[in-house]
Amino acid sequence: MRLVTLKKEHIILGVVIAALLLYLVLRNPDRINYQLPDLPFIGVGTISRLEIAKAGQMIGLEKKGDQWLIQPQGFSADPDRVKAIMDIVTGLTLTALVSESGHYFPYGLDPENAIHIKAYDPQRLLREFSVGNDASTYSHTFVKLATDPRVFHAKKAFRSDFDQKTDGLRDKTVLRVDKAQIVAIEIATAGARVLFTKNIKPVEAGAGAMQPQSQATPPAGEESWLMADGKPGNGAELNGILDSASQLACEGFIEGKTKADFREPLYTVTLKGAKDFQLAIFPKTEKEISYPAVSSENPYPFLLSAYKAEGVMKKLAVLKNEKNPAN
């Protein structure tokens, strides 16, 4: 009887072992037991309005013609930042299911930390989702769709693109100038005003042997900047001012003040072409590290770093090629 019982136990044990072996052979450790949501396609340029909300605060982006504006203020938005945001929204790609628990704090998707995104075309809501923390992979972001309680990995780390305040999304380029169109530079500072006019010395047809030229006379075909008396200005310094002012970005904008609040500039540069472009820089206090400034191409006063401001504010004596300049 005992032998029969022992045989039965061996048979049962054999069946269990066989079942385990079959499970180990047939199971696929890489098998996905869920299906990722199918996100509808959004064409490039389809979105005309975007809402970015976090902890009760909302920033709107609205397309007006070819320009994006930050609403409700109507500030111009940085084109590069807007493009990065729109590329993420239109190209949102879910790669894996992370959690079905309904606990969102570990992923930065709780009400205090989640960033809620709504994208619209002129007629309807196109996409709505929440952005959480970047994943530890540094190549994914935790996201949650508005219609799905689960947490997913989305391709790329992009929380920082959305985690912005209004000032971070503003276009900080305050002066854009086509340098080729500028024919004169006027400098005004300390009660003096000097105009430097671009001059291009023509190449003489049939010119013979090279003739020696003085240091003050530019070679044929070379640009120079001449003052009213015909004397050349300091071309390197004047071109440096033109380079700095032609694509000038500020540090930030001065809140609570208008351009009319700033008078008596410390230094004014006017670039003359088909139209005039003007940059006025004002004195800073001892406690300030940046210079207040205004531009003819921007409706708001702003701050220029000391490096940029002082790179523009060259001494007149230096620009006029005077020896031993004092001012």
Q: Is 87 in contact with 79 (CB distance < 8 Å)?
A: no
Q: pLDDT band for position 28 (50/70/90)? A: very low
Q: Say if residue 144 is in the same domain as residue 181.
A: no
Q: Is 106 in contact with 135 (CB distance < 8 Å)?
A: no
Least confident of 182-191, 202-211, 301-310: 202-211
Q: pLDDT band for position 25 (50/70/90)? A: very low
| CA-based nearest residue to 295, from 278, 273, 312, 276 | 278
Q: Say if residue 230 is in the same domain as residue 155.
A: no
| CA-based nearest residue to 218, from 230, 228, 207, 209 | 230
Residue 42 domain-assigned? no
Q: Say if residue 53 is in the same domain as residue 159.
A: yes
Q: pLDDT band for position 205 (50/70/90)? A: low
CA distance 286 to 294: 20
Handedness of CA 304, 308, 311, 312 (dihedral sign): negative
CA distance 195 to 185: 6
pTM: 0.77
Q: What is the mean pLDDT of the chain?
A: 87
- How many CB atoms neighbour CB 25 within 10 A? 7
CA distance 311 to 30: 60
Question: Domain boundary residue among 145, 169, 193?
Answer: 169
Q: Is the peptide bond before 72 cis (omega within 30 degrees of 0)?
A: yes
CA distance 117 to 91: 14
| CA-based nearest residue to 138, from 159, 165, 112, 156 | 156
Query: Is the pLDDT assigned to residue 146 strictly greater than 50?
Result: yes
Q: pLDDT band for position 288 (50/70/90)? A: confident
Percent of the chain with pLDDT strictly greater than 90: 76
Q: Say if residue 180 is in the same domain as residue 165.
A: no
Instruction: Tokens 């010119």: give the residue.
Output: 207
Q: Say if residue 141 is in the same domain as residue 236.
A: no
Structural domain span for residue 226: 173-201+218-319
Q: Say if residue 238 is in the same domain as residue 277.
A: yes
Residue 63 domain-assigned? yes
74-129 pLDDT tens trace: 999 999 999 999 999 999 999 999 999 999 999 999 999 999 999 999 999 999 99
Residue 248 domain-assigned? yes
171-190 pLDDT tens trace: 999 999 999 999 999 999 99
CA distance 245 to 262: 20
Q: What is the pLDDT of residue 326?
A: 58
Q: What is the mean pLDDT of residues 156-180?
A: 95
